[in-house]
């Protein structure tokens, strides 16, 4: 389930779709390297708040801006962007581009910016500036690297970058022989900013889904740095919402599916076409569809209802007026293509599109599908989470979380709220949902908890820990029945989590999404952002703040509110081991004894290594069985010094007792270092 997310920085128009049938366009080798520097332990520091117990601090609640108020704040920010750039230490070639603004009741503003360098868009250069009374209070950056490149003249020809991208698109089912666009950018999502090309290849994929492949190519070396599919595919069958009330527009004796109460959101019939807007639903009476696919207006009614429910959810839950928060409605298109088993949001047309399913029998217009897809549009217009690696998992989880929120908000007796994603869409023919938030691994592919390699997993499955976190934060661990559905949510550390309720969990997630996260936020950053949000809303000593800590620990991210992940035991080796330059691997041993059973699925591995240009290093944990667990891969672009990081490893297949080894190898010349110490912590 996805959306299109152009992130407001360049001309690209990525799209995200419903489920997870075609994963080849999503998974990306090595994307975890984009965010490998994050540490998965420790608590965020949030300014203390003094709210009433269990209630959000009204000073830190975002006010509901009218379109004109929002426009005025954006104009003010735009007028002051040069001064803001200087105040936060940007270089002379850097400029800010205002993208969005959130204002709290106490007057604090959170302004989201993109950056340019020498006139070029900076991908991964986005930031959020928090200010009060004209004074900058905080800056959250997608990258802390200094923006500086040797020059803006490529050594690699534009045609070479285009050829590379077109070939990659064809390998993924694309049909076009030329790119839609190729332009220079600064790629800053890695540790070292470089001059690059962003190439966008459109057309169709082999299953009829629109293609929007983005490929980032180093303009100096020609190396592919990153790719993501702006449109991703899925599978599903709709379950209708019964008899509902629709807001339409009457002109004379004609009624149209035009929702004037929600930014003039219109619903169109593509009539099995795959381009253009289609025909606005129009008829001489105000009763739409007959509840079956025999009437083409039935899908239109479902789509129109889903869009209204999503609009109302965001407006009444968060004070957000439409996907862009500007009071303007999107539009919906139904009956896309033939037997198209998918649905997708597209920022390029600012529209939602639904296929009719296998055999054109069941349009994909369920409430949670609409909420999920259009929430990709919200993510695109707020944090702009990159749709690959850990940030991609968080992007997909955000749509699952908000789609779930829409379904509960709609309170529809035919499709009641639950923590099952796409439960009305029978992919396997056995009535099973696409994803389970209480225990994601029940779908056979999603991950229950974070581990160091999760950035290389398809985003529909790496979303699992975030979905699981949200369920735990909302409802808590253990067995319970909600709206007739039985859930049984475990935790990574086998300790209980007490939920704070879905309403509070949604507020925390949304505030982090809109004021704390950037395009490169990973799971560690998501924890930091949600803790900061909880601290602002409910206080840094509140039960809500502690629940956020415990829920993240429950999915293997960071420690418990009591510290230490529930009284863990540590084993450490402090004997220095030299790391030879571009030489054989060296090891350091820790012997564990006196424990019973296997190691946990969230074994903490803390590493202290001194080494210039740490990207040269490959680091593995070797279990007693001899199995290696990759902690850190080689990165030719990571020029920072030293590795001081705690990794979480799923070592449940290993016996706890035995000799564990830290294996380190320098795979490039000119730099040496030392393993100073390392530690195993069993929660």
User: What is the Cα–Cα distance from 165 to 163, expressed in whole angstroms?
Assistant: 5
Residue pair 489/509 in contact (Cβ under 8 Å)? The answer is no
Q: Who contacts 89 (Cβ-Cβ below 8 Å, separation ≥6)? A: none
Detail the DSSP E strand segments found in 309-425: 331-336, 343-346, 351-355, 420-421
Angle between helices 502-515 and 297-318 (to 10 degrees): 80
CA dihedral (503, 504, 507, 508) positive or negative: negative
User: What is the Cα–Cα distance from 102 to 118, expressed in whole angstroms?
Assistant: 28
**At 372, which helix (H) or strand (E)?**
helix 367-380
User: What is the Cα–Cα distance from 6 to 164, expressed in whole angstroms?
Assistant: 22
Residue 476 CA: distances (Å) to CA of 117, 178, 438, 469, 548: 46, 51, 9, 9, 11
Among candidate residues 94, 114, 373, 544, the one labeled active-site is 373
Clarify whether 373 is annotated catalytic: yes
User: What is the Cα–Cα distance from 454 to 393, expressed in whole angstroms?
Assistant: 9
Q: Residue 229 region, left (φ>0) first, then alpha (ψ -120 to 50), else beta? A: beta
Residue 654 CA: distances (Å) to CA of 104, 492, 599, 650, 679: 49, 16, 6, 9, 17
Among candidate residues 460, 468, 544, 611, the one labeled active-site is 460
Q: Who contacts 191 (Cβ-Cβ below 8 Å, separation ≥6)? A: 37, 143, 145, 615, 635, 637, 638, 639, 640
Clarify whether 611 is annotated catalytic: no
Please spell the DSSP secondary structure of 520-586, one letter per residue.
T--HHHHHHHHHHHHHHHH-TTSHHHHHHHHHHHTTTSS--TTSHHHH-EEEEE---EEE-TT---E
Active site residues: 373, 460
């Amino acid at each position: 389930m996805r959306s299109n997310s152009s992130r407001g920085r360049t001309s690209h128009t990525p799209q995200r779709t419903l489920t997870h049938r075609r994963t080849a366009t999503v998974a990306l080798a090595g994307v975890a390297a984009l965010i490998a520097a994050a540490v998965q332990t420790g608590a965020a520091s949030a300014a203390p708040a003094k709210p009433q117990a269990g209630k959000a601090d009204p000073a830190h609640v975002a006010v509901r801006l009218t379109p004109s108020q929002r426009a005025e704040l954006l104009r003010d920010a735009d007028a002051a962007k040069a001064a803001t750039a200087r105040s936060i230490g940007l270089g002379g070639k850097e400029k800010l581009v205002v993208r969005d603004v959130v204002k709290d009741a106490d007057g604090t503003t959170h302004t989201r910016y993109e950056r340019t360098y020498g006139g070029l868009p900076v991908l991964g250069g986005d930031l959020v500036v928090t200010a009060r009374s004209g004074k900058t209070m905080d800056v959250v950056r997608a990258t802390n690297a200094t923006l500086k490149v040797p020059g803006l003249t490529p050594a690699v020809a534009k045609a070479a970058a285009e050829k590379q991208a077109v070939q990659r698109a064809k390998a993924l089912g694309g049909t076009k022989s030329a790119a839609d666009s190729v332009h220079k950018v600064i790629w800053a999502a890695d540790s070292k900013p470089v001059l690059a090309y962003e190439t966008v290849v459109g057309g169709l994929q082999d299953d009829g889904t629109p293609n929007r492949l983005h490929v980032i190519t180093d303009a100096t070396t020609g190396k592919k740095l990153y790719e993501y599919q702006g449109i991703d595919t899925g599978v599903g069958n709709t379950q209708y919402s019964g008899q509902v009330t629709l807001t339409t527009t009457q002109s004379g004796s004609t009624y149209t599916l035009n929702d004037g109460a929600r930014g003039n959101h219109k619903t169109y019939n593509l009539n099995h076409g795959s381009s253009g807007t289609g025909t606005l639903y129009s008829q001489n009476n105000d009763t739409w569809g007959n509840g079956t696919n025999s009437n083409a207006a039935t899908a239109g009614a479902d789509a129109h209802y889903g869009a209204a429910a999503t609009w109302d959810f965001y407006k009444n839950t968060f004070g957000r007026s439409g996907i862009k928060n500007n009071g303007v409605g999107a539009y919906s298109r139904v009956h896309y293509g033939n037997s198209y088993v998918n649905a997708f949001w597209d920022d390029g047309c600012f529209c939602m599109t639904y296929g009719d399913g296998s055999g054109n029998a069941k349009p994909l217009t369920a409430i949670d599908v609409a909420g999920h897809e259009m929430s990709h549009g919200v993510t695109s217009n707020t944090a702009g989470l990159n749709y690959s690696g850990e940030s991609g998992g968080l992007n997909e989880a955000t749509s699952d979380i908000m789609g779930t929120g829409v379904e509960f908000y709609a309170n529809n007796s035919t499709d009641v709220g639950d923590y099952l994603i796409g439960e009305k869409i029978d992919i396997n023919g056995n009535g099973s949902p696409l994803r389970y938030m209480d225990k994601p691994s029940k779908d056979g592919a999603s991950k229950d908890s974070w581990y160091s390699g999760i950035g290389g997993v398809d985003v529909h499955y790496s979303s699992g820990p975030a979905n699981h976190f949200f369920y735990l934060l909302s409802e808590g661990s253990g067995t319970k029945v909600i709206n007739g559905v039985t859930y049984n949510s475990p935790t990574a550390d086998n300790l209980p989590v007490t939920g704070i309720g879905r309403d509070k969990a949604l507020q925390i997630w949304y505030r982090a999404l809109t004021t704390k996260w950037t395009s490169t936020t990973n799971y560690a950053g998501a924890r930091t952002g949600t803790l900061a949000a909880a601290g602002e809303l409910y206080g840094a000593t509140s039960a809500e703040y502690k629940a956020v800590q415990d829920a993240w620990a429950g999915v293997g991210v960071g420690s418990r509110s009591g510290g230490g992940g529930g009284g863990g035991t540590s084993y450490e080796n402090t004997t220095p081991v030299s790391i030879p330059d571009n030489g054989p691997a060296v090891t350091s041993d820790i012997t564990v004894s006196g424990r019973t059973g296997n190691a946990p699925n969230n074994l903490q591995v803390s590493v202290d290594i001194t080494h210039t240009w740490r990207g040269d290093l490959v680091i593995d944990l070797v279990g007693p069985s001899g199995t290696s667990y990759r902690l850190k891969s080689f990165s030719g672009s990571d020029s920072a010094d030293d590795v001081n990081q705690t990794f979480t490893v799923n070592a449940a297949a290993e016996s706890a007792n035995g000799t564990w080894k830290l294996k380190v190898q320098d795979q490039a010349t000119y730099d040496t270092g030392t393993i100073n110490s390392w530690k195993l912590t069993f929660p």
